[in-house]
Amino acid sequence: MTRSAPIQSCLAGLLALALALAPALAGAQGLDLSLPDLGDPSSDVLPPSEEARIGQEMMREIRGEVDLITDPSINAYIRDLGARIAVASDMPATEFRFFVVDDPRINAFAMPGGYVGVHSGLITAARDESELGAVIAHELSHVTQRHIARRIAAYEQTSLRTAALVLAGLLIGSQNPQAGMAAATTGMASGIDSQLAYSRDHEREADRVGMRILSRAELDPMGMPEFFQVLLNDNRYRSQPPAFLSTHPLTQARIADARAMADELKPERVFESPDFAYVRARLAVLVADNPDQARNIFQARVESEATPGDRYGLATALVRSGDPARATTIFEGLDEARGEHEMLYLGLAEAALAENRVDDALGRINAGLSLFPDSVGLQVTRIDALLREDRARKALALTRNLTHEHPEAPGIWELHARVASAAADPAESALAMAHYYAVQGDLRAGLSQLRRVDPASASASQRSRANALRDRWESRLTPPG
């Protein structure tokens, strides 16, 4: 289940953290917190290499403390949408790492080094892909405009790596008050909640840049003010504001400005992927307290409106609640009414596997892959089907291909490790787990996994790969100069 830690407050609090740490760590004098000029985002306010190190340190500390969504289809969708938006920005898409946090609150956050987390609550609350894309574009803008880097660099007397570790400690402490690291930082962190929000200037800049990015990505820039308005309206009926509002203050004037800009920036063509409705529904089923609850919710929606997304959600819930035969009927009806889609083939395959009809499942998967060869969800489900037939060596060849195609996806590396273990290849399993930790920023854990590669049983290729990774990661962990 989702932990209750205020992730967004910790991650957005780099400025406040530096303020709290500066006197304790470096004896700094009073600092000017004003921001009269945002400056050139390309200026070297903080070396990108150091920013990457800070991001890696933060990911290493919080990786074990935050529940992440592991579903391959959902993660692939967010990576694809994030890459589509990032390509339209001023930074290479390869510099971003997108992941989904299992948290019902409506939020997204960006960390140093291009790590971008999207809450499950944001995906299920967005009404269309442009609204979801708007929040992602807004967070990317905080990265491209170096807002976080500027906050850190404003406090030159503070140890940057120590700041990152203490920031992660604040996150861990909010989830586990007994954590020793948090206990050491509680005093420094107290009294700074009022300073956690991004500055108004940063927010306005992220709005403007984010909507330009949306327009270039052929999404509707109006998604930003529309979703902001939903959040502001929803806030009137809550005892606590939505998480996004706690670090991204909203006013009607700001929404009006965003709406005016969106009118000017609307692209000639807006394309929203049909994947969104299916992914949103699938995620809602996965994060529900139990499959029966999800089935009841989607059954009520289908009876009142019966959108394709709601029908897909009902079928997905039926697979997980023990009625795959009825789910198959719904999936097939969607296929006839809406046309072929990889998520429908995935649902049909999962329904067949739920009834242990492995051959039928493989037939559905192969048919889907003939039309959608890049579908990660279908490829992973095929691997699951092969493992059920004790064809681990065949599955291992497929997971190896997936790691080449998606080298930055931790879930793919974890799957490759599991399949390698089933195929009795411990060296390959250790190498895969090393990558699993490394792509999440934990190079030390990756190096620990490399020590599991036994030279006596590993192949020459595996020994060579282990040595190359060890040299590369140890070099990255060694401070310059």
DSSP structure class, residue 479: P
What is the DSSP track for 103-159? Answer: --SS-EEEETTTEEEEEHHHHHH-SSHHHHHHHHHHHHHHHHTTHHHHHHHT-TTS-
More confident residue, 445 or 49: 445
342 vs 371: CA distance, rounded Å: 8
Q: 277-477 adopts what CATH topology?
A: 1.25.40
Domain ranges, ordered by start, for the chain? 7-265, 277-477
The arithmetic mean of pLDDT across residues 61-77, rounded, is: 84
The arithmetic mean of pLDDT across residues 244-255, rounded, is: 74
327 vs 316: CA distance, rounded Å: 7
- Is residue 196 predicted with pLDDT exceeding 50? no
The arithmetic mean of pLDDT across residues 336-356, rounded, is: 95
pLDDT tens digit sequence for 14-45: 333 333 333 333 333 332 222 223 344 444 55
- Is residue 247 predicted with pLDDT exceeding 80? no
pLDDT tens digit sequence for 126-175: 999 999 999 999 988 887 776 566 665 554 444 555 555 544 444 444 33
- Is residue 187 predicted with pLDDT exceeding 50? no
What confidence score (pLDDT) does residue 3 get? Answer: 40
pLDDT tens digit sequence for 201-236: 778 888 889 999 999 999 999 999 999 888 888 766
The rounded mean pLDDT for the chain is 80
pTM: 0.80
**In this structure, are strands 97-101 and 115-119 parallel, antiparallel, or unpaired?**
parallel
What confidence score (pLDDT) does residue 92 get? Answer: 64
In which band, very low, low, confident or very high, does the pLDDT at 61 lie, cut at 50, 70 and 90? low
What confidence score (pLDDT) does residue 161 get? Answer: 53
pLDDT tens digit sequence for 284-341: 999 999 999 999 999 999 999 889 999 999 999 999 999 999 999 999 999 998 889 9
